[in-house]
Amino acid sequence: MTGPLAGVRVIDLTSVVSGPFATMFLADQGADVIKVEPPGGDITRRSRQSVDPTGQFSALFISTNRGKRSLSIDLKQPEGADILRKLIVRSDVLVQNFRPQVMDRLGFGEAAMRSLNPRLIYVSISGAGDSGPYAEKRVYDPIIQGLSGFADVQAEARTRRPQMIRTIVADKTTSLVTAQAVASALYAREKTGVGQHIKVAMLDAMISYLWPEAMAQYTVVGQEATANDPNARPDLIFQTIDGYMTVGTISDSEWQGFCRAAGQPALIEDKRFSTPAARTANASERIYLMGDILATRTTADWLARLDEADVPCAPVLRRGEVMNNEQVVARELIAEFDHPGIGRVRQPKPAPQFGGTPSRTPSPAPAVGEHGAEILADLGYAREDIERLAGAKVVRLARA
């Protein structure tokens, strides 16, 4: 097994996206991630686009659970709970995203698990946190987009109607924050010898994520009313004769390069746009003006002109075009492999590139209970005991 987290065992008790995506990053980096599922499997196996006739795999599930092992147990049965306790004793990290207090009611709260394994890093992912009036609120990504101000950031430029971004950005941002926090806790444990409890709320993660530029006008206390809203402007997608592109003109040299490439040198001296502060204050006027100019040529023509002038620019690709983009192809960012029962699948390669401990190559997501027999055997269960547990429906095994 390769990767900087090789030798680390993670118990993944999560479902949907925020937790599974976080533990998938740990698996990419070499951790042995054991996905503990109920007998019916994670709900995302059957959500969105199903990709196999048995209903065990959806595209979403494959892309948030690759490289893991599956253990399917009924935690409501005493023997099922015993299996999990034995696994916790031998593990480094436990990640769960039940609503607050659920794990305590199941008998697997942080304090109880700490007594089993003092070195355990126990991770609790929640929607809005474990305190406050929203602690018990059922939460999905759009709820957090609305609560965090993210929908306001996406507001339509002229009407200021809030809009949702069409990807589960709160879930995925929380996943990244969680994976990074686990790595930090593992490092701290190397120095202290003991684990700790990590709490990550989606609302907390998104407010932190938004703050640097999206909340800039609220950074200095007392200056809110006089500060410009950096988001009350059109976006930077421009229509050309044959498609769409984006262009950035933050620095003076970039703005001047754009003006020259556009054949509009007089705009360089235009007081509305001649300094970074002026371009910010007149952002909407500048962007609409750029749109009028860029609409006069093809995307390829503009890319050649703007690259020559060293102005940041790119085509705005449709999703189906991304895989064939020359930069994506040159860097081999998309991996293909055979997934049992499904066929050929695509997955992005792990983004971090470790020089000494390379990440694992993307591999299939597990079937429900696919690795149950081997995990139980590793815990010391005899074959006849494993078969008895399967017969009593304490565990679900994947049969050949």
Angle between helices 202-214 and 169-192 (to 10 degrees): 100
Q: Is 346 helix (H, G, I), strand (E, B) or coil?
A: strand
Catalytic residue among 32, 152, 171, 301: 171
In the chain, what is the greatest distance between 2 CA atoms, to the nearest angstrom?
A: 84
Say how far apart CA 71 and CA 66 lie, in whole Å. 14
CB within 8 Å of 320: residues ≥ 6 apart: none
Q: Is 58 helix (H, G, I), strand (E, B) or coil?
A: strand
Is residue 152 part of the annotated active site? The answer reads no
Q: Is 99 helix (H, G, I), strand (E, B) or coil?
A: coil
Let me know if 276 is exposed, middle or buried by CB neighbors in 10 A (0-12, 13-18, 19+): middle
Angle between helices 169-192 and 141-148 (to 10 degrees): 90
Q: For residue 75, which of 60, 61, 54, 96 has the smallest C-alpha distance? A: 96
What is the rounded radius of gyration, in angstroms, for the C-alpha atoms of the chain? Answer: 25
Q: For residue 40, which of 72, 62, 8 has the smallest C-alpha distance? A: 72
Say how far apart CA 300 and CA 201 lie, in whole Å. 44
Active-site positions?
A: 171
